[in-house]
């Protein structure tokens, strides 16, 4: 027996589908952000694949200065730097400023500044002219670094020489691919060695926890989808009770009615899920494109195939579960009851 199309894609179905689509979009966007952070952490780990280490003097004072050349045989395997807190005359703010000396290309990223030019970290809202201890500098852009803080200013080494009373000296160095024996040798020269990859490992462990907890995004979204499907099928079966009663009278079995009702809920949920996937993809890559346009960043938003599949299945599954109760309730009622209910509504 072929059942007639009782349900049409009317205003109620359209509004329910849009509600389901918005929930699916939220699932896709949330998981895309988490997946993008995971991809970003992989990128960071790739940048640190040589286990970069921070070398500072073991002197008791904070970031003590040392002579360039103090690392002896390791000279061609390190990049030197100077860090300093410098007073900004105009805003009366102490800026954290650093300069780099990397003639051997040790660092995984390159910076280009010269003269009185400076680059601002991504977290700094500064541009144009700036006065540091009476010296006018020009902010020529932003830098995005996997090593250095986004709250710092990067200046040239020549400019930094004018801000310190220890010209020609440095207060930190960065080295890569150090063995345990080499670490011991560097420490014997009076330096402390801090493995910078440990920072990435710490962040990566935090990402594991975020990815584990991200599954809970499905719970509230799936619940809302189930409620929407429940409300839709409940109201539709109430409106069509008379027609369903006629079908039961002419021989449609309970299993047939149940499968028909659930199929309608599945079709509506699948339509809402497909629309939600499209909206989620547009939102995810829109956010990623906007972030890339505003500033260069290692963090991305990534909507992978497994995210789309999980979101679609979760939406359709929640919709069918939500529709199950009103479908069962309509299936178990007698044809006479359905006919009376339908007449009462009409």
- Written as tens digits, the pLDDT of the chain (346 aa) is 444 455 566 777 788 888 888 888 888 877 777 776 666 665 555 554 446 788 888 876 767 889 888 888 888 888 999 988 887 766 667 888 999 988 888 887 778 888 889 998 888 888 788 888 888 898 988 888 877 888 889 999 989 988 888 888 898 998 877 888 888 998 888 898 877 654 444 445 545 555 555 666 678 888 888 898 888 888 877 777 777 777 777 666 778 878 888 888 888 888 888 998 888 888 877 776 766 555 445 556 667 777 788 888 988 898 889 888 888 888 877 766 666 654 555 4
Report whether 178 contacts 15 (CB < 8 A).
no
Phi, psi of 245 (to 5 degrees): -60, -40
Q: Is residue 77 part of a domain?
A: yes
Do 276 and 324 belong to one domain?
yes
294: exposed, middle or buried (C-beta count within 10 Å: 0-12, 13-18, 19+)? exposed
Of the residues 195, 214, 242, the one at which a domain ends: 195
- Report d(CA 334, CA 107) in Å as an integer: 77
Do 169 and 220 belong to one domain?
no
Q: Is residue 200 part of a domain?
A: no
Q: What value, to the nearest 5°, has the Cα angle with vertex 82 and ends 147 and 168?
A: 145
Q: For residue 1, what pLDDT is reported?
A: 44
Q: For residue 68, what pLDDT is reported?
A: 84
Do 270 and 314 belong to one domain?
yes
Report whether 120 contacts 208 (CB < 8 A).
no
Of the residues 171, 195, 219, the one at which a domain ends: 195
Phi, psi of 145 (to 5 degrees): -130, 145
- With H, G, I as helix, E, B as strand and everything else as coil, classify residue 298: coil
Do 320 and 219 belong to one domain?
yes
Q: For residue 112, what pLDDT is reported?
A: 84
Domain tally, the chain: 2
Which positions ≥6 away from 34 have C-beta within 8 Å? 210, 211, 214
- Report d(CA 66, CA 171) in Å as an integer: 6
Residue 264 is part of which domain span?
A: 11-45+206-345
Q: Is residue 5 part of a domain?
A: no
Residue 168, CA atoms < 13 Å, CB-side half-sphere = 3
Q: Is residue 117 part of a domain?
A: yes
Do 57 and 186 belong to one domain?
yes
Of the residues 195, 226, 243, the one at which a domain ends: 195
Do 190 and 79 belong to one domain?
yes
Residue carrying structure tokens 């040239």: 156
- Report d(CA 98, CA 82) in Å as an integer: 5
Q: For residue 164, what pLDDT is reported?
A: 84
Q: Is residue 6 part of a domain?
A: no
Q: For residue 99, what pLDDT is reported?
A: 92
Do 93 and 218 belong to one domain?
no
Do 147 and 234 belong to one domain?
no
């Amino acid at each position: 027996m072929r059942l007639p199309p009782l349900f049409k894609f009317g205003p109620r179905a359209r509004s329910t589908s849009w509600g389901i689509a918005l929930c699916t979009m939220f699932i896709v966007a949330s998981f895309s952000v988490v997946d993008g952070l995971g991809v970003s952490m992989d990128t960071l780990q790739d940048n640190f694949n040589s286990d970069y280490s921070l070398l500072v003097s073991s002197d008791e004072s904070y970031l003590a200065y040392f002579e360039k050349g103090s690392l002896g045989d390791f000279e061609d395997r390190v990049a030197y730097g100077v860090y300093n807190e410098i007073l900004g005359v105009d805003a009366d703010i102490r800026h954290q400023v650093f300069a780099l000396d990397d003639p051997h290309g040790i660092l995984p990223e390159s910076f280009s500044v010269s003269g009185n030019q400076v680059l601002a970290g991504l977290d700094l809202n500064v541009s144009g002219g700036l006065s540091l201890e009476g010296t006018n500098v020009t902010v020529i852009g932003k830098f995005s670094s996997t090593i250095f803080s986004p709250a710092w200013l990067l200046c040239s080494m020549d400019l930094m020489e004018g801000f310190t009373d220890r010209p020609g000296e440095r207060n930190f160095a960065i080295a890569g691919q150090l063995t345990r024996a080499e670490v011991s040798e560097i420490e014997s020269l009076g330096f402390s060695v801090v493995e910078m990859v440990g920072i990435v490992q710490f962040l990566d462990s935090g990402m594991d926890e975020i990815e584990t907890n991200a599954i809970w995004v499905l719970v509230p979204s799936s619940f809302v989808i189930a409620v929407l499907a429940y409300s839709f099928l409940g109201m539709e079966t109430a409106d069509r009770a008379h027609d369903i009663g006629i079908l039961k009278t002419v021989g449609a079995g309970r299993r047939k009615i149940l499968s028909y009702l659930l199929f309608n809920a599945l079709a509506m949920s699948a339509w809402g899920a497909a629309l939600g996937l499209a909206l989620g993809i547009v939102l995810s890559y829109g956010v990623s494109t906007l972030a890339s346009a505003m500033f260069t960043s290692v963090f991305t938003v990534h909507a992978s195939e497994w995210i789309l599949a999980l979101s679609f299945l979760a939406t359709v599954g929640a919709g069918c579960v939500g529709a199950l109760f009103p479908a069962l309730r309509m299936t178990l009622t007698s044809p006479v009851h359905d006919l009376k209910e339908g007449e009462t509504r009409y």
